[in-house]
Amino acid sequence: MFVRTESLSQFLKLYPVVSALVLIHAVVFILTSLPGQLGDTVMSTMLGVNFLISAGEWWRLVSPIFAHADLWHVLFNTFSLVLFAPALERMLGHVQFIVVYLLTGIIANLVTWLIQPPIYMSVGASGAIFGLFGLYAAILLIFKERAPMELRQVILPLLVISVIMTFFSANVNVTAHIAGLAAGMLIGLFIFNKSNQK
């Protein structure tokens, strides 16, 4: 489930949405890393800045999902996507997967805007990534013993470690992580409970 054995061409064909998200991460990171004013302008346009959202710049609830603060940030989130998102894209289908991914990311940024102070700034796909973890948590809750052993062995420890690290890591948007996780779990409970009843 989480071990990638596909060739690059197979991965692109099987998981076009995940592949597109990885490409977007790379392109946006290159643009924001350009020297001089251009890179700074792209980053400042994509940042989630609470007082600017309040002023009507609503795209900042979406744009932070695709931008990252530094190389390690983009590598970690992109690696998480490649590792954990393909199984969900296969399970949900391409359209439903991207809708859920974006929705959990937007909810994470929306809650950040509602809870954090006006000067608060955030960037990164972590809210949406935690949304994926929430979907997996919903699968474990609904299907329990029927959930694949690999899912139980990997996701449960990962969830615990990720939540703990959220509170003990510097420069982390705790609000987005927890909101994304909760949103993913609630959406997952709705989706998978419905399919479980068929």
- Please name which of 52, 195, 49 lies closest in space to residue 123, comparing C-alpha atoms: 49
Position 1 in a domain: no
Size of the chain, expressed as the number of residues it contains:
198
Contacts of 84 (CB under 8 A, 6+ apart): 2, 129, 132, 133, 136
Of 50, 51, 162, the closest CA to residue 110 belongs to 50
- In this structure, is residue 2 part of a structural domain? no
The question of whether 126 is a catalytic residue gets the answer yes
Structural domain total, the chain: 1
| CB proximity list for 197: less than 8 A, separation 6 or greater | none
Burial zone of 169 (CB within 10 Å; 0-12 exposed, 13-18 middle, 19+ buried): exposed
Q: Report pLDDT for 198.
A: 58
In a domain, 17, yes or no: yes
Q: Which of 19, 33, 126, 169 is catalytic?
A: 126
Measuring CA to CA, which residue among 120, 148, 149 is closest to residue 49? Answer: 120
Q: Rounded to 5 degrees, what are φ and ψ at 47?
A: -60, 145
Report if residue 103 sits inside a domain.
Answer: yes
Here the CATH number for the domain that contains residue 15 is 1.20.1540.10
What single-letter DSSP state applies at residue 3? -
Considering the candidates 68, 94, 177, 195, report the single residue annotated as catalytic: 177
Collect contacts of 148-155 with beta carbons under 8 A, ≥24 apart: 148/1, 150/1, 150/2, 151/1, 154/1, 154/2
- What digits encode the pLDDT tens for the residues 49-93? 999 999 999 999 999 999 999 999 999 999 999 999 999 999 999
| Residue 25 appears among annotated catalytic residues | no
In a domain? residue 166: yes
pLDDT: which is higher, 23 or 159: 23
| pLDDT, tens digit, 9 for 90 and up, residues 171-189 | 889 999 999 999 999 999 9
Q: Taking 80 as the threshold, does the pLDDT of residue 197 lie above it?
A: no
**Mean predicted lDDT score pLDDT of the chain:** 91
Strands of the chain (E only): list them. 48-49, 121-122
Is 124 inside any structural domain? yes
* Residue 135, pLDDT score: 94
Q: What is the pLDDT of residue 47?
A: 96
On whether residue 168 sits in a domain, the answer given is yes
> Encoding tokens for residue 140?
């474990």
Helix (H) or strand (E) holding 156: helix 149-168
Is 110 inside a domain boundary? yes
* Full domain range(s) for residue 97: 8-196
